Amino acid sequence: MIDADTVIARLREADARSGGRRLAWTETWANERARLDAIAEDASDAVMVERDAFANAWYVLPGETDETVLVGSHSDSVPDGGWLDGMLGVHAGLGVLAAVAAGGRTPKRTLAVVDWADEEGTRFGRSLLGSAAATGALTGEELDRLRAHDGTPAREVTAAYGFDANALGTRSGRLRSVVAAVELHIEQGPTLERTGREVAAVAGCLGVRRSRITFEGEPGHAGTIAMPDRHDPVRTAAAFVTELFALAEQEDGFATTGEIEAEPAFVTAVPQRCRISLDMRHADARALDRLSTSARKLLEAGRCPASVTELHRQDPVHFDAGLIDAAVQASDGGPPLTSGPLHDSASLALAGIRTVMLFTSSKSGVSHCRDEDTPEAHLRRGLLALHRLIVTLLEPART
């Protein structure tokens, strides 16, 4: 059985050492990864520690066949991140690997634990960098557009950690043998806690449409232009956001405006322009399309003209139906969740690899901050569920 005490203790030690500052492509991150290497090597002499061409760490316990069951997540964090986001899935995977190795019998299928490089995208603004590179989804041209805040090219920063940009565009070697992939992660939202659940299967990730919208108005003095005569871009933007958010609520989706800028920005001016971001998410692609159409019509009907720059477009990700059933059985038997955030598992599912996730609850639904937490009892349930599911998958006759 998986040693949950050890896994949880390792997570707390890693957090104490790194203080939630395991930013990808830094020394702190590399040091934690060296510790992961040592833990994997300690698990069994049979374990192979490897880096693929894209700085992803692979810990492989060979089975009777090359068919591989992958369990992975990410050890990098956002600045001042929590102790569980990503790291839970990596240490959990190594805990499962140790338990399987300790069983003394070579599993039918090969087990690979993977620590994907740079899931968070903190340095270059591109999430899922390592997993997207491994599936062939990240191109050399896209990498060449990415730069750190200080202007250093991503190609240069990542090369120092063994990332080979010349290998981009093809699927990373070991990934070709993967027949099933599983990731244990914290929910990072309030649903499980609100419904009194500890661990659940995840059916997929929400689709995303993200854009920046600029409303062009006519500037003026706050005390001279009569309200009916104004072409106030803030007023048009506010009306747009209010109406669109109501539609998103009716559709049971999400709409978020996280950035609002007026220009010029001072208290006595009707601004000339107003720039906002818009992030819309939904589990159903048709609902996302309806919201996009509504947004376009609202913009066309607005008093101030608007221009739209698309930032990111991702259709909903659906995990494998058979694996979802297995994950439901291994967890609490309840209905599967849909993830609001994207995960490395989305990269794998989009590449046609059979994938599923498990979520444990998040206290108060918070993540990406030092307050991120999960009750230890829920973590234990999650670790047991992951172990149960992986053991099932290592026996092909039963999947």
Which residues make up the interface to Zn ion (CB under 5 A)?
85-86
Those residues with Cβ within 8 angstroms of residue 208's Cβ, 6 or more apart along the chain or in another chain: 279, 280, 281, 312, 313, 314, 342
Q: How far is the CB of 20 from Zn ion (least distance, A)?
A: 13
Q: How far is the CB of 114 from Zn ion (least distance, A)?
A: 14
Q: What are the backbone dihedrals phi and psi of residue 277, each rounded to the nearest 5 degrees, phi first?
A: -100, 155
Here the tokens at position 307 are 């221009």
For the chain, the maximum distance between any two Cα atoms, rounded to a whole number of angstroms, is 83
Q: How far apart are CA 211 and CA 77, in angstroms?
A: 25
> For Zn ion, which residue has the nearest CB?
86
Minimum CB distance to Zn ion smaller for 86 or for 204: 86
Question: How does strand 306-314 pair with strand 207-216?
Answer: antiparallel
Minimum CB distance to Zn ion smaller for 32 or for 85: 85
Minimum CB distance to Zn ion smaller for 121 or for 375: 121
Minimum CB distance to Zn ion smaller for 72 or for 302: 72
DSSP code for 26: S
Q: Which of 56, 59, 7, 58 is nearest to 29 (CA)?
A: 56
Minimum CB distance to Zn ion smaller for 84 or for 276: 84
Minimum CB distance to Zn ion smaller for 85 or for 232: 85
Minimum CB distance to Zn ion smaller for 47 or for 356: 356
Q: Is 159 in contact with 165 (CB distance < 8 Å)? A: yes
Minimum CB distance to Zn ion smaller for 22 or for 273: 22
Give how far the C-alpha of residue 228 lies from the chain's centroid of Cα atoms, to the nearest Å: 46
- On the 0-12 / 13-18 / 19+ scale of CB atoms within 10 A, 187 is buried
Q: How far is the CB of 306 from Zn ion (least distance, A)?
A: 34
Q: How far is the CB of 24 from Zn ion (least distance, A)?
A: 12
> What is the number of other CB atoms lying within 10 angstroms of the CB of residue 155?
16
* Angle value at C-alpha 72, between 166 and 11, nearest 5 degrees: 120
Here the tokens at position 252 are 């049971």
Question: How does strand 57-61 pair with strand 110-116?
Answer: antiparallel
Q: How far is the CB of 126 from Zn ion (least distance, A)?
A: 15
Q: How far is the CB of 155 from Zn ion (least distance, A)?
A: 24
Measure Cα distances from 88 to 148, 216, 359 in Å.
Answer: 27, 46, 10
Q: How far is the CB of 72 from Zn ion (least distance, A)?
A: 11
Q: How far is the CB of 250 from Zn ion (least distance, A)?
A: 30
Q: Is 223 in contact with 268 (CB distance < 8 Å)? A: yes
Minimum CB distance to Zn ion smaller for 28 or for 392: 28
> What is the number of other CB atoms lying within 10 angstroms of the CB of residue 317?
23
Q: Is 358 in contact with 200 (CB distance < 8 Å)? A: yes
Minimum CB distance to Zn ion smaller for 119 or for 251: 119
Q: How far is the CB of 22 from Zn ion (least distance, A)?
A: 12
Q: How far is the CB of 151 from Zn ion (least distance, A)?
A: 27
